[in-house]
């Protein structure tokens, strides 16, 4: 297999060939010395350039490898970033839906709370009104109870007075029944003279008793509230 010589190798072989050529006097001339020195310098420069080229090639290969690795990492991170962005967008969409739902529930609860507060205010007003009515009814009931007690006492008093009046009237009637015709004839002046005066005195006495037993004016019945 043919091998291609590098420029440095070929130039070094050329220098060796030139150095191996014999001169006519077997001593290098100044021109040859100068040429040899120049060839040596160029050879060193070529070797240095070749080494630098090899180093540069190795560095380029390493850089290419690093670049490939970084490119692969970037692609991987880009895919991960795309996936994370998609997941984040989905989570954001879910969070937005949940927030909208919660806002709707909160608005509904606020409406229910407002309606409940209105109902509570109405109930308080109705309860206050009922309490006022109950107080008025209780006051009216107490007043009626007092009037009823007073009427009961008045009725009891009237009953006792009427019984006494009835007894007095019976007593008068009994005495008039006893004052019969025979007594009037024996007195020779029926209902006149001393007998009349006596009878009038008795009537006056009974009248006084009746006045004492007369019931006072009845108290009017209480009106319903």
pLDDT at 189 over 70: no
Half-sphere exposure of 26 (CA within 13 A, CB side): 0
Average pLDDT over residues 163-184: 68
Q: Are 76 and 34 in contact (CB under 8 A)?
A: no
The alpha-helical segments, DSSP class H, found in the chain are: 7-20, 30-178, 181-186, 193-213
- Give the residue, 87 or 191, on which the prediction is more confident: 87
Q: How big is the chain, counted in residues?
A: 225
C-alpha 108/C-alpha 97 separation (Å) is 16
Q: Helices then strands (H, E): number in the chain?
A: 4, 0
Q: Which of 7-11, 33-37, 141-145 shows the highest mean pLDDT? A: 141-145
Q: What is the pLDDT of residue 30?
A: 80
pLDDT at residue 107 in the model: 92
List Cα–Cα distances, 37 to 8, 40, 41, in angstroms.
16, 5, 6
Comparing CA positions, the residue from 173, 180, 183, 182 lying closest to residue 203 is: 173
- Mean pLDDT for the chain? 76
């Amino acid at each position: 297999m043919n091998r291609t010589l590098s420029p440095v190798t070929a130039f070094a072989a050329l220098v060796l060939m030139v150095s191996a050529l014999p001169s006519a006097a077997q001593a290098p001339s100044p021109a040859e010395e100068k040429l040899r020195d120049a060839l040596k310098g160029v050879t060193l420069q070529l070797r240095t350039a070749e080494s630098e080229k090899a180093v540069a090639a190795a560095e380029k290969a390493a850089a290419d490898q690093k670049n490939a690795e970084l490119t692969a990492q970037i692609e991987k991170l880009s895919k991960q970033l795309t996936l994370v962005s998609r997941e984040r967008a989905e989570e954001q969409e879910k969070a937005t839906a949940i927030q909208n739902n919660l806002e709707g529930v909160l608005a509904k609860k606020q409406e229910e709370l407002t309606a409940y507060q209105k109902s509570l205010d109405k109930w308080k007003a109705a309860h206050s009104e009922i309490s006022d009515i109950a107080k008025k009814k209780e006051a009216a009931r107490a007043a009626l109870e007092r009037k009823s007690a007073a009427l009961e006492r008045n009725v009891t008093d009237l009953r006792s007075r009427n019984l006494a009046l009835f007894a007095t009237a019976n007593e008068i009637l009994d005495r008039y029944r006893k004052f019969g015709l025979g007594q009037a004839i024996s007195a020779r002046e029926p209902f006149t003279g001393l007998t009349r005066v006596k009878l009038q005195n008795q009537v006056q006495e009974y009248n006084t008793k009746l006045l004492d037993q007369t019931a006072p004016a009845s108290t009017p019945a209480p009106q319903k509230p």
